[in-house]
């Protein structure tokens, strides 16, 4: 987008980049904010269904669409309280840390073929790293609250998230090895074609490892049965005990956006990302061809459909998390850690070795049924200007570090712009 | 059936009097719930005997209650046939034998008749642990000191509450820590 | 204090301090206004000391100033989740003092309603136990069914929580026409739903992990601490006042066939196809207490069915409740009945006037709660709600 501003509208580079960043910022905050609202509504409806009741059905029509919005308004009007014993600055800061961490991770999440805010060859690494920062907000909030329950929540969160990072990373790294890249766009591209090409069907080990991944993500975003940091029957509300009003809702938004994020990541890593089960758009020739670098409407529409596809998968993942939450009791802290260290880690390790063996020994895999040559140039099309920039020999001016090579996406300097978005 | 129960109670009473002599101060075996009255100083031994005796096996202490016998209405007081006193009533039963018994201990309303000095009775916590909370409650509401209780402090009312509400001459304080009661 | 001469430094890298935590009185999982003071080291609880009295409403003192008939509404508010059973206990106690005998029909009405009350109480116990363990859904399923029981009660006496239906000497009114059919329909609706509860809780692996071998209460402790009801039977003590109680309590159950729900010779009475006892569970643990309650629901359904049949054929009227000014004979009685939460006792002393000299309440939850310090030694914080929930205490009854 920045290239578009700079090249087509002849804005100066700083202005163009800032403008592009702001637009993307607003887009992502709006999208995720709305998604979080929607998920809260969805959770209520789903829990209502599961529990044999209606859920919201008054505000905003028959289905209570605006219930969350109304609640948000209520939360806005609440007094912004900080307890007497709280470390006020840290206490006030904590929700933003969580929120910003959770939202920044979207920087590297592709929504469709090449639709990603900051294309990175290290996308997966970035997401996992930034997502891990969310825990700081929780620890900070729990510690600064000056309440013992909050402190318990924070310590539990620290123990839990730190333990679950290990198997989570081990699971996420399997698709990386299978595809040979950390670029999420490229990983998604590799799974194009029939649904048999999805990595979850690569071999039995990847199938198992998806479930390990799912368990670990549920734990790392504090959803039941791993919602110990909140554990309202034990710790009142855990780290949230002393929070009220908008700050409380920031934690909430962070939780729901993290849920979407990890589900989206699961969709990309294991379920073909934006590739549908049947390659319809490839068959009717709308989807971009491999060598194409120019923009066209049909290609855009194909990408849009891919985006819907991707979101559908991610939302499905979130739905399953909700379903789990309203079905299972909560584990105890020692059991949570046991699940991680005694089951998830060994299982992930075995599957990791198994999946790599399968790949190395080239054992038959469903992925070979209808092979598709990876498009490989995925990121380029939405950054078609890069090509022009390269032609014009202006790489360095537009923030491309190093000369453009055959690699689909070059390293772009990540600009920490999303943080401001969090507060808006 | 009732007849056998009656003889059963008489048998217990006979055994108790044989064993504890003067300690057994009275009984009413014809009452709906037959009771035996004890002197405070033999209470613990009697209770231990009742719990451990192979025939009786009163392994459950159902309830400890304190009863304040004080007629505050002077007209009625003239007609009552008892002196003001306090009774501690123990309801025992046996899960194995499926029978029950009531024990009573009669105490003065105040120790040595000095108002404010709580009457004393030995605690039976060592025999039935459940007595712990029951005795605390009786202490709390009736003002009876259970000697030998491991932690005799108020249970339902706040620690700094004044007086013992279930006594017949208790007067509700008008305020508590500035809160109108 | 200097740390150099502290011998513990050699043993521990990090010196830890005990932390005192107040669980309650405002806490989501203490079933009312219970306060438990926890001495903890991190997640480990060394000692849990319940502090009660936040709901003290002077019921006993009030009982000394009202006639037994007037005091009935106060019994509703003891165990407010099983008001019917509290009414029943008081009604029977007063009848015992008066030497009254009620008609057979009244007996059947009482069985019917008391067993429905037991089902309602156990459903709440089951649901809130799910909540304590972090599972929300069973709670709403339980309340859905309880709501139907409350509807039935509403038809009977007009109230949904504080019934004052069973009065000394009889019941407030006969069952309304068509009520028995409604009740039968409810039972047929409830029966299949119980399998859901078992699927969501009893046989759920996480639930078993959270409850099996947690808070193990030995039979000796259970008896010594005066525990009763499902807590006592969960520890394997075969005792149920509906069978083993005094005549006043057991009379109305005469002719009914039922078994006391207790694990005997390694198994529970087998008249159901509900989940087997998991190998991890130890007799007397939270899981068994929960399971006993679940089986008692099934048993109560059966008792209500029998009650309906017997009520239809029973002669007699629905009794004449004692008058407000009825003089009580001089004397004192003590009567315990089997309420859902355990043995509910009333100690009633009369000096010959219409107003009792003294009313004393023996509450089952009071005794059941007193074992918390024993059960919560060296457990984890998460086990404290699990243990308290499995005891199924109601603070209205504890604080009176």
**All structural domains of chain C with their residue ranges:** 67-399
Judged on CB neighbours under 10 Å (0-12, 13-18, 19+), A277 is middle
Q: Does B126 touch chain C (CB under 8 A)?
A: no
Substitution target in A158, A236, A329 with the highest count of C β-carbons within 10 Å is A329
With beta carbons under 8 A apart, name residues in chain C contacting A224.
Answer: 134
Q: Does C296 touch chain A (CB under 8 A)?
A: no
Distance CA B12, CA B102 (A): 12
Substitution target in C49, C241, C334 with the highest count of B β-carbons within 10 Å is C334
Contact B141 C60 (CB under 8 A): yes
Is the predicted pLDDT of residue C245 greater than 70, yes or no?
Answer: yes
Q: Give which of A360, A382, A370 is closest to A306, Cα–Cα.
A: A382
Contact B63 C53 (CB under 8 A): no
Is the predicted pLDDT of residue A114 greater than 50, yes or no?
Answer: yes
Distance CA C382, CA C394 (A): 20
Model confidence at A370, pLDDT cuts 50, 70, 90, reads low
Nearest Cα of chain A lies from the Cα of C126 at a distance, in angstroms, of 13
Q: Is residue B23 part of a domain?
A: yes
Model confidence at A2, pLDDT cuts 50, 70, 90, reads low
Nearest Cα of chain B lies from the Cα of C334 at a distance, in angstroms, of 7
With beta carbons under 8 A apart, name residues in chain A contacting C381.
Answer: 152, 234-235, 333
Higher pLDDT, B158 or A399: B158
With beta carbons under 8 A apart, name residues in chain C contacting B95.
Answer: 223, 237, 239, 244
Is the predicted pLDDT of residue A424 greater than 80, yes or no?
Answer: no
- DSSP 3-state assignment of B90? strand
A184-193, A294-303, B75-84, range with the lowest pLDDT? A294-303
Distance CA C313, CA B146 (A): 54
Distance CA C207, CA C199 (A): 10
- DSSP 3-state assignment of B150? coil
Distance CA A270, CA A213 (A): 10
Separate counts of helices (H) and strands (E) for chain B: 4, 9
Of the candidates C141, C207, C385, the beta carbon closest to that of A233 is on C385
With beta carbons under 8 A apart, name residues in chain C contacting B91.
Answer: 334, 345, 347, 362
Alpha helices in A180-296 (DSSP H): 184-190, 204-220, 245-270, 280-283
Contact C385 A234 (CB under 8 A): yes
Are C369 and C79 spatial neighbours (Cβ–Cβ below 8 Å)? no
Q: Kind of pairing, strands B100-107 and B35-38? A: parallel
Q: For chain B, what is the domain count?
A: 1
Q: Does B158 touch chain C (CB under 8 A)?
A: yes
A231-235, A247-251, B109-113, B170-174, range with the lowest pLDDT? A231-235
Residue C122's pLDDT is 92
* Among chain C residues, CA nearest to A226: C134
With beta carbons under 8 A apart, name residues in chain C contacting B67.
Answer: 349, 357-358, 360
Chains that touch C (3 or more CB pairs under 8 A): A, B
Alpha helices in C12-103 (DSSP H): 59-63, 68-76, 83-98
Separate counts of helices (H) and strands (E) for chain A: 16, 0
Q: What are the residue boundaries of the structural domains of chain A, listed by start? A: 2-423
Residue-wise pLDDT tens digits, C177-208 = 889 899 999 999 998 888 888 888 888 888 89
Contact A234 C382 (CB under 8 A): yes
- Domain range for B92: 2-134
Residue C150's pLDDT is 92
Are B126 and B148 spatial neighbours (Cβ–Cβ below 8 Å)? yes
Q: For the CA atoms of chain B, what is the radius of gyration?
A: 18
Model confidence at C101, pLDDT cuts 50, 70, 90, reads confident
Of the candidates C19, C133, C380, the beta carbon closest to that of A334 is on C380
With beta carbons under 8 A apart, name residues in chain B contacting C96.
Answer: 32
With beta carbons under 8 A apart, name residues in chain A contacting C199.
Answer: none
Q: Give which of B146, B128, B133, B126 is closest to B86, Cα–Cα.
A: B146
Of the candidates C132, C135, C141, the beta carbon closest to that of A328 is on C135
User: How many B-C residue pairs are in contact by the CB < 8 A criterion?
Assistant: 87
Mean pLDDT score, A139-145: 87
Is the predicted pLDDT of residue A421 greater than 50, yes or no?
Answer: no
With beta carbons under 8 A apart, name residues in chain B contacting C246.
Answer: 100
Q: Is residue B162 part of a domain?
A: no
Mean pLDDT score, B128-148: 90
Is the predicted pLDDT of residue A420 greater than 70, yes or no?
Answer: no
Instruction: Name the region of C48 (left: φ>0; alpha: ψ -120 to 50; beta: rest).
Output: beta
Nearest Cα of chain C lies from the Cα of A65 at a distance, in angstroms, of 23
Is the predicted pLDDT of residue A122 greater than 50, yes or no?
Answer: yes
Q: How far lies A376's CA from each of A28, A110, A157, A305, in Å?
A: 26, 15, 39, 20
With beta carbons under 8 A apart, name residues in chain B contacting C345.
Answer: 62-63, 91
Length of chain A: 424
Contact C210 A329 (CB under 8 A): yes
- DSSP 3-state assignment of A391? helix
Of the candidates B91, B100, B157, the beta carbon closest to that of C347 is on B91
Do the two chains B and A touch, given a threshold of 8 Å on CB pairs and at least 3 pairs?
no
Is the predicted pLDDT of residue A391 greater than 60, yes or no?
Answer: no
Is the predicted pLDDT of residue A305 greater than 80, yes or no?
Answer: yes
Q: What is the CATH number of domain C67-399?
A: 1.10.645.10
Contact B156 C53 (CB under 8 A): yes
Chains that touch A (3 or more CB pairs under 8 A): C
With beta carbons under 8 A apart, name residues in chain C contacting B31.
Answer: 331-332
Of the candidates C349, C362, C399, the beta carbon closest to that of B67 is on C349
Is the predicted pLDDT of residue A301 greater than 50, yes or no?
Answer: yes
Model confidence at C30, pLDDT cuts 50, 70, 90, reads low
Share of residues in chain A with pLDDT > 90 (%): 2
């Amino acid at each position: 987008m920045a290239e578009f501003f700079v090249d087509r509208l002849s804005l100066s580079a700083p202005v163009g980049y800032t403008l592009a960043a702001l637009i993307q910022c607003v887009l992502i905050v709006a999208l995720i904010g709305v998604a979080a609202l929607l998920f809260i509504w969805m959770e209520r409806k789903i829990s209502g269904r599961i529990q044999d009741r209606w859920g919201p059905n008054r505000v905003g029509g028959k289905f209570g669409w605006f219930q969350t919005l109304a609640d948000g308004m209520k939360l806005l009007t609440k007094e912004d309280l900080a307890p007497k014993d709280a470390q006020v600055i840290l206490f006030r800061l904590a929700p933003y840390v969580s929120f910003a961490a959770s939202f920044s991770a979207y920087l590297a999440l592709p929504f469709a073929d090449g639709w990603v805010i900051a294309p990175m060859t290290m996308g997966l690494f970035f997401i996992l790293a930034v997502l891990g920062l969310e825990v700081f907000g929780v620890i900070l909030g729990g510690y600064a609250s000056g309440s013992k329950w909050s402190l318990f929540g924070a310590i539990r969160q620290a123990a839990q998230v730190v333990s679950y990072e290990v198997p989570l990373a081990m699971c996420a790294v399997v698709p990386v090895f299978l595809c040979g890249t950390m670029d999420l766009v490229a990983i998604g591209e590799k799974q194009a074609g029939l649904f048999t090409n999805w990595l979850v069907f690569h071999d039995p080990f990847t199938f198992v490892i998806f479930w390990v991944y799912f368990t670990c993500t549920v734990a790392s975003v504090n959803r039941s049965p791993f919602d110990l940091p909140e554990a309202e029957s034990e710790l009142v509300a855990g780290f949230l005990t002393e929070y009220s009003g908008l700050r409380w809702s920031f934690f909430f938004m962070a939780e729901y956006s993290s849920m979407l994020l990890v589900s989206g990541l699961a969709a990309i890593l294991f379920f073909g990302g934006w590739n549908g089960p049947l390659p319809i758009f490839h068959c009717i020739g709308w989807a971009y061809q491999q060598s194409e670098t120019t923009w066209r409407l049909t290609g855009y529409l194909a990408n849009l459909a891919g985006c819907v596809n991707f979101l559908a998968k991610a939302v499905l993942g979130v739905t399953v998390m909700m379903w789990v939450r309203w079905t299972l009791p909560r584990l105890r802290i020692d059991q949570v850690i046991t699940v991680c260290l005694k089951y998830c880690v060994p299982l992930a390790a075995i599957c990791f070795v198994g999946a790599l063996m399968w790949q190395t020994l080239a054992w038959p895999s469903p992925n070979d049924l209808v092979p598709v040559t990876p498009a490989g140039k995925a990121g380029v099309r939405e950054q078609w200007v890069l090509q022009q920039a390269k032609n014009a020999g202006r790489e360095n001016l537009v923030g491309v570090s190093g000369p453009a090579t055959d690699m689909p996406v070059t390293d772009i300097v990540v600009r920490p712009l999303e943080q401001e978005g969090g507060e808006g | 059936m009732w007849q056998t129960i009656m003889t059963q109670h008489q048998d217990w009473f006979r055994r108790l009097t044989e064993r504890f002599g003067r300690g057994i101060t009275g009984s009413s075996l014809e009452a709906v719930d037959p009771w035996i009255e004890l002197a405070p100083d033999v209470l613990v031994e009697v209770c231990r005997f009742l719990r451990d005796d192979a025939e009786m096996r009163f392994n459950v202490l159902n309830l400890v209650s304190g009863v304040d016998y004080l007629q505050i209405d002077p007209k009625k007081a003239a007609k009552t046939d008892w002196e003001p006193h306090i009774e501690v009533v123990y309801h025992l039963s046996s899960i194995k034998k499926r029978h029950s018994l009531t024990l009573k201990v009669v105490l003065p309303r105040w120790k040595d008749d000095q108002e404010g000095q709580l009457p004393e009775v030995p605690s039976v916590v060592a025999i039935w642990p459940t007595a712990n909370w029951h005795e605390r409650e009786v202490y709390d509401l009736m003002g009876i000191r259970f000697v030998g209780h491991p932690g005799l402090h108020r249970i339902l009312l706040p620690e700094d509450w004044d007086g013992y509400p279930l006594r017949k001459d208790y007067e509700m304080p008008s305020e508590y820590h500035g809160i109108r009661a | 204090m200097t740390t150099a001469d502290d011998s513990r430094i050699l043993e521990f890298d990090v010196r830890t301090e005990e932390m005192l935590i107040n669980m309650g009185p405002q806490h989501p999982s203490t079933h009312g206004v219970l306060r438990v003071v926890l001495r903890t080291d991190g997640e480990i609880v060394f000692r849990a000391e319940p502090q009660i009295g936040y709901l003290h409403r002077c019921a006993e003192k009030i009982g000394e100033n009202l006639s037994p008939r007037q005091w009935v509404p106060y019994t509703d508010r003891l165990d407010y989740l099983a008001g019917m059973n509290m009414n029943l206990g008081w009604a029977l106690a007063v009848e015992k003092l008066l030497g009254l005998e009620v008609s057979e029909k009244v007996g059947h009405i009482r069985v019917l309603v008391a067993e429905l009350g037991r089902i309602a109480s156990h459903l709440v116990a089951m649901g809130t136990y799910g909540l304590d363990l972090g599972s929300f859904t069973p709670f709403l399923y339980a309340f859905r069914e309880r709501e139907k029981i409350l509807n039935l009660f509403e038809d009977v006496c007009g109230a949904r929580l504080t019934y004052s239906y069973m009065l000394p000497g009889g019941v407030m009114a006969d069952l309304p026409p068509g009520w028995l059919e409604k009740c039968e329909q409810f039972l047929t609706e409830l029966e299949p739903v119980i399998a859901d509860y078992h699927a969501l809780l009893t046989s759920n692996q996480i639930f078993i992990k959270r409850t099996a071998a947690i808070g193990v209460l030995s039979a000796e402790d259970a008896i010594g601490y005066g525990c009763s009801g499902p807590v006592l039977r969960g520890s394997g003590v075969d005792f149920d006042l509906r069978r083993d109680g005094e005549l006043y309590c057991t009379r109305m159950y005469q002719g009914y066939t039922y078994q006391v729900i207790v694990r005997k010779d390694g198994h529970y009475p087998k008249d159901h196809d509900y989940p087997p006892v998991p190998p991890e569970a130890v007799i007397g643990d939270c899981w068994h207490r929960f399971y006993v309650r679940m089986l008692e629901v099934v048993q109560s359904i059966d008792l209500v069915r029998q009650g309906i049949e017997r009520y239809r054929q029973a002669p007699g009227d629905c009794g004449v409740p004692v008058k407000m000014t009825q003089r009580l004979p001089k004397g004192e009685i003590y009567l315990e009945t089997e309420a859902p939460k355990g043995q509910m006792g009333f100690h009633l002393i009369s000096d010959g006037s219409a107003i009792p000299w003294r009313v004393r309440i023996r509450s089952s939850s009071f005794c059941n709660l007193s074992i918390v310090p024993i059960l919560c030694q060296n457990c984890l914080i998460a086990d404290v709600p699990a243990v308290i929930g499995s005891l199924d205490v109601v603070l209205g009854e504890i604080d009176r």
